[in-house]
């Protein structure tokens, strides 16, 4: 059985936290450039120029793209034939987050308890860790830091089957219109359809780890992604101060659901669509 | 778009009242950062009848929690945070003499009413342009509440800090004005 020392996990997670905070993925950068070419609002063009310049500075100088370096979401896929040795997996991941956020001069934005005693944990831990056991002997790690300007505008709708495609479109657009310019558009919209309430929410997060150049493999969902993107770009929200580039992409993921249900979750991400991926 | 208007601090009501929604500005001088926790602490202190550690007369407040500065830099990445979270505290703070606010996102009607009364202007900086904005910040000095970490109240010396007037002293709102020409969507058409 293949062995993997937790020290390696900590080291890699630390580097990935920095990498995600500094380097905007190429697909998002290219989409911003395309948006700048087609943006009709003069103010929107100025905003996009600043956003593109910001991405270039952050990448060239190893600086956080945004000061909200997020709460650290971690997707782990652990091969069932892999033996993790030397310590506890979640502790190792959190140690990596603490190291990455400290060494990388990232902002520590996590409070230990949400309601009565909101004290900063000072190292951005704990991360939000989702672990799946999969075939194989590798550890697949995706780090997706999530800023809360956009997270606060995300939402969920528990539809019924009769609501259908129309209902899904309305539910997504109600969340988008309510969010308006607040989640730092141009946004990237992750949609989870089906499952249970919690599963739909998780799918909407997972959807954001897919390249924005890639459409859902099922043609009906790919079409829905395109239709929703066009609707969002005709709201006028634009890049924060009005215009035609409100969103760069809509990524949908779906899952089987109950005969009585049609959950729809929407995670809105700002233009800082950050993630890092490694396989150990 | 017209040339940017250069403004310097202290930022008086007279200067504020000249600005119109949609104006592009470059701010030079000292602006003061404060966000969620600092607003809570300050308004609680005022409710107890205490004096605030900072004189807010003719100041511009920046809703900000920066990343830590790398060695040799005055500040880390420092874009605006969502202003709406400060809305509950804002009328009280404007009564302290603040004439300008820099943040991002919409404001509540009560804030806009208080802005009209106090002659205050609300500016937006580009959300997420944090590494770029850092280039216009020359120094960062904590003035109060250092225990709040990135949420401390601090003086930022800025040169040509880029912002846009979103809501002016008359309540004109560029978020509305700017979206309107590009809005062709009606949810009832779905």
Average pLDDT over residues A236-248: 98
> Contacts of residue B177 in chain A, CB cutoff 8 Å?
242
Residue where one domain finishes, among candidates A146, A177, A209:
A146
Average pLDDT, chain A: 97
For residue B13, what is the domain's CATH number? 3.20.130.10
- A159 in contact with B at a CB cutoff of 8 Å? no
Instruction: Clarify whether residues A98 and A217 are in a common domain.
Output: no
Cα B54 to chain centroid distance, Å, stands at 16
Give residue for tokens 């937006």: B124
Beta-bridge partners for B23: none
Instruction: Clarify whether residues A135 and A154 are in a common domain.
Output: no
For residue A260, what is the domain's CATH number? 3.30.1330
Report pLDDT for B2. 61
CA–CA gap between residue B112 and residue B122 (Å, rounded) = 9
Q: What are the tens digits of pLDDT across the range B76-102?
A: 999 999 999 999 999 999 999 999 999
**DSSP H/E element including B93:** helix B90-94
Instruction: Clarify whether residues A189 and A164 are in a common domain.
Output: yes
State yes or no: pLDDT of A213 exceeds 60: yes
| CA-closest candidate to residue B58, choices B20, B24, B31 | B31
Instruction: Clarify whether residues A109 and A205 are in a common domain.
Output: no
DSSP structural state of residue A111: B
Question: Could you write out the three-class secondary structure of B35-79?
Answer: CHHHHHHHHHHHHCCCCCCCCCCCCEEECCCCCCCCCCCCCCCCC
Query: Could you give the number of structural domains in chain B?
Result: 1
Question: Is B138 part of a structural domain of the chain?
Answer: yes
Q: What are the tens digits of pLDDT across the range A94-109?
A: 999 999 999 999 999 9
Domain residues for B90?
9-167
Average pLDDT over residues B163-177: 97
Q: What are the tens digits of pLDDT across the range B24-36?
A: 999 999 999 999 9
> Contacts of residue A69 in chain B, CB cutoff 8 Å?
67
Average pLDDT over residues A64-84: 98
Choose the closest CB to A238 out of B129, B179, B185: B179
A162, two tokens: 């009769």
Choose the closest CB to A67 out of B1, B66, B82: B66
Angle at A29 between CA A19 and CA B150, to 5 degrees: 50
* Whether B130 and A180 lie within 8 Å, measured CB to CB: no
Report pLDDT for B3. 82
| CA-closest candidate to residue A19, choices A100, A127, A73 | A100
Instruction: Clarify whether residues A163 and A214 are in a common domain.
Output: yes
**DSSP H/E element including B134:** helix B130-134
Query: Could you give the number of structural domains in chain A?
Result: 2
User: ipTM beyond 0.95?
Assistant: no
Angle between helices A6-22 and A89-103 (to 10 degrees): 40
Three-state DSSP class for B140? strand
For B182, which residue in chain A has the nearest alpha carbon?
A236
Instruction: Clarify whether residues A209 and A252 are in a common domain.
Output: yes
The b-or-e profile of B94-116 (16+ CB within 10 A means b, else e) is bebebbbbbbbbbbeeebbebbe
* Whether A170 and B187 lie within 8 Å, measured CB to CB: yes
A97, two tokens: 């987050």
Percent of chain A's residues with pLDDT above 90 = 99
Instruction: Clarify whether residues A101 and A142 are in a common domain.
Output: yes
Instruction: Clarify whether residues A93 and A176 are in a common domain.
Output: no
- State the pLDDT confidence band at B63, using cuts at 50, 70 and 90: very high
Count of beta carbons in the 10 Å neighbourhood of residue A242: 28
Instruction: Clarify whether residues A7 and A85 are in a common domain.
Output: yes
Domain residues for A265?
149-273
Give residue for tokens 């129309």: A166
State yes or no: pLDDT of A49 exceeds 70: yes
Q: What are the tens digits of pLDDT across the range A155-204?
A: 999 999 999 999 999 999 999 999 999 999 999 999 999 999 999 999 99
Report pLDDT for A165. 98
Q: What are the tens digits of pLDDT across the range B120-137?
A: 999 999 999 999 999 999
Report pLDDT for B10. 97
Per the annotation, the verdict on B184 as an active-site residue is: no
CA–CA gap between residue B152 and residue B148 (Å, rounded) = 5
Report pLDDT for B149. 87
CA–CA gap between residue B59 and residue B99 (Å, rounded) = 6
């Amino acid at each position: 059985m293949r062995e993997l020392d937790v020290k390696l996990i900590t080291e890699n997670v630390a580097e990935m936290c920095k990498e995600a905070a500094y380097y905007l993925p190429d697909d998002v950068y290219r989409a911003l450039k395309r948006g700048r070419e087609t943006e009709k609002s003069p103010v929107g063009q100025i905003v996009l120029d600043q956003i593109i310049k910001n991405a270039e500075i952050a990448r060239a100088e190893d600086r956080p793209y945004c000061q909200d370096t997020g709460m650290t979401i971690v997707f782990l896929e652990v091969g069932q034939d892999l033996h993790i040795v030397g310590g506890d997996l979640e502790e190792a991941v959190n140690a990596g987050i603490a190291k990455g956020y400290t060494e990388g001069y990232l902002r520590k934005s996590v409070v230990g308890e949400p309601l009565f005693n909101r004290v900063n944990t000072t190292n951005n831990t704990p991360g939000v860790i989702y672990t799946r056991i999969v075939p194989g002997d590798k550890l697949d790690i995706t780090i997706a830091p999530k800023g809360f300007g956009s997270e606060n505008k995300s939402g969920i709708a528990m539809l019924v089957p009769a609501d259908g495609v129309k209902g899904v479109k309305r539910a997504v657009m109600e969340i988008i219109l309510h969010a308006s310019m607040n989640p730092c558009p141009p946004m990237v919209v992750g949609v989870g359809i089906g499952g249970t309430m919690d599963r739909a929410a998780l799918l909407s997060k997972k959807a954001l780890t897919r390249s924005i150049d890639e459409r859902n493999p099922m043609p009906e969902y790919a079409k829905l992604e395109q239709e929703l993107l066009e609707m969002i770009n005709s709201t006028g929200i634009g890049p924060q101060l009005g215009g035609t580039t409100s969103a760069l992409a809509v990524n949908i993921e779906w899952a089987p659901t109950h005969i009585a249900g049609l959950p729809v979750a929407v995670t809105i991400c700002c233009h800082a669509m950050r993630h890092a991926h490694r396989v150990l | 778009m017209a040339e940017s208007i250069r403004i310097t601090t202290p930022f008086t009501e007279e200067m504020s009242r000249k600005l119109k929604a949609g104006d592009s500005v470059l701010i030079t001088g000292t602006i003061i950062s404060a966000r969620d926790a600092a607003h809570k602490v300050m308004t609680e202190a005022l409710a107890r009848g205490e004096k605030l550690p900072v004189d807010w007369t003719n100041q511009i407040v920046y809703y900000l929690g920066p990343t830590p500065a790398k060695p040799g830099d005055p500040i880390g990445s420092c874009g605006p945070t969502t202003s709406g979270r400060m809305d509950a505290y804002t009328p009280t703070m404007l009564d302290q003499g603040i004439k300008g606010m820099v943040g991002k996102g919409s404001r509540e009607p009560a804030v806009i009413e208080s802005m009209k009364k106090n002659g205050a202007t609300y500016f937006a900086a580009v959300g997420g342009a944090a590494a770029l904005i850092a280039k216009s910040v020359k120094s960062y000095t904590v003035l109060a509440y250092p225990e709040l970490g990135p949420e401390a109240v601090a003086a930022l010396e800025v040169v040509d800090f880029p912002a846009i007037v979103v809501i002016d002293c008359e309540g004109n709102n560029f978020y509305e004005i700017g979206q309107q020409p590009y809005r062709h969507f009606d949810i009832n058409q779905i």
